[in-house]
């Protein structure tokens, strides 16, 4: 009998990550969580979890060295990312712009670089989580949109550079009701008011509701699995019909 597939989830302590962990375990797979130390502690994931700060290259190197000791990966999911302010680009400080690009883009680059050598097997898969805001831009999200658009470009480049050994795809969700809207997992107490008008967003979505984590984890698991075995360099837009590219 083959060993359970080992899948690493960066940002696994967040709302989508915790749902993905549950689903992978229910399917007999073996998820490993990487996240900020406060996030692991808050959600009781320290045992077996690996602390990481993707804005710090030394932290990324150390975390992936620890991950490598657990053996090869069949999949890697990058859920890390955040945005805490809604402000026009003309009023965005360079400090905040750099912070968002560092966390969402540079962090994804460092993580992908570190994860690729650990991915093995005929269906090895790397999944980035971008955002619908990467293309369906809205006022106030300039830095975040730019970072997530760049993640999509990087996904396509990685797909070409690493085929056929590793497939690289992305999921681009619309708004999901998680702590991300309330300051971020591990970066806040997760209880603040949403930075987004949830009622207005729901009313503008054809499916008539806000996405829940399980709406996003299904597409992620699809991209990790055999059913997407001939897909690479693709983006799955998951937004209840709010954006139809």
Per DSSP (E only), the strands in 130-216 are 167-173
What is the mean predicted confidence (pLDDT) over 43-49? 92
Given a cut of 90, is residue 195 above it in pLDDT?
no
pLDDT in tens, 91-145: 999 999 999 999 999 999 999 999 999 999 999 999 999 999 999 999 999 999 9
**What are residue 30's DSSP bridge partners?**
6
Please give the model's pTM, rounded to 2 decimal places. 0.92
CA angle 202, 151, 178 (to 5 degrees): 35
C-alpha–C-alpha distance, residues 23 and 3, integer Å? 17
Domain boundaries, the chain: 6-238
The residue that leads in pLDDT, 232 or 3, is: 232
- Architecture per CATH, domain 6-238, reads as 3-Layer(aba) Sandwich (3.40)
């Amino acid at each position: 009998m083959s060993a359970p597939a080992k899948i690493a989830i960066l940002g696994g302590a967040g709302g989508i990550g915790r749902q993905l962990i549950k689903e992978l375990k229910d399917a007999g797979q073996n998820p490993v969580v990487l996240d900020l130390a406060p996030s692991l502690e808050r959600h009781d994931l320290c045992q077996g979890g690996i602390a990481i700060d993707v804005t710090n290259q030394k932290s990324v190197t150390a975390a992936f060295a620890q991950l490598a000791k657990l053996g090869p990966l069949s999949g890697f999911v990058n859920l890390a990312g955040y945005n805490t302010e809604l402000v026009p680009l003309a009023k965005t400080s360079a400090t905040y712009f750099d912070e968002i690009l560092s966390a969402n883009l540079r962090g994804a680059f460092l993580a992908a670089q570190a994860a690729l050598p650990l991915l093995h097997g005929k269906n090895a898969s790397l999944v980035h989580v971008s955002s619908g805001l990467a293309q369906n831009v809205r006022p106030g999200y300039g830095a975040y949109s730019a970072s997530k658009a760049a993640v999509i470009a990087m996904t396509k480049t990685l797909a070409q550079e690493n085929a056929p050994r590793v497939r690289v795809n992305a999921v681009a969700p619309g708004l999901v009701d998680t702590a991300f809207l309330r300051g971020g997992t591990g970066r806040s107490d997760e209880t603040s008011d949403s930075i987004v008008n949830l009622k207005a967003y729901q009313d503008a979505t054809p499916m008539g509701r806000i996405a829940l984590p399980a709406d996003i984890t299904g597409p992620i698991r699809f991209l990790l699995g055999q059913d997407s075995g001939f897909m690479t360099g693709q983006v799955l837009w998951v937004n209840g019909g709010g954006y139809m590219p």
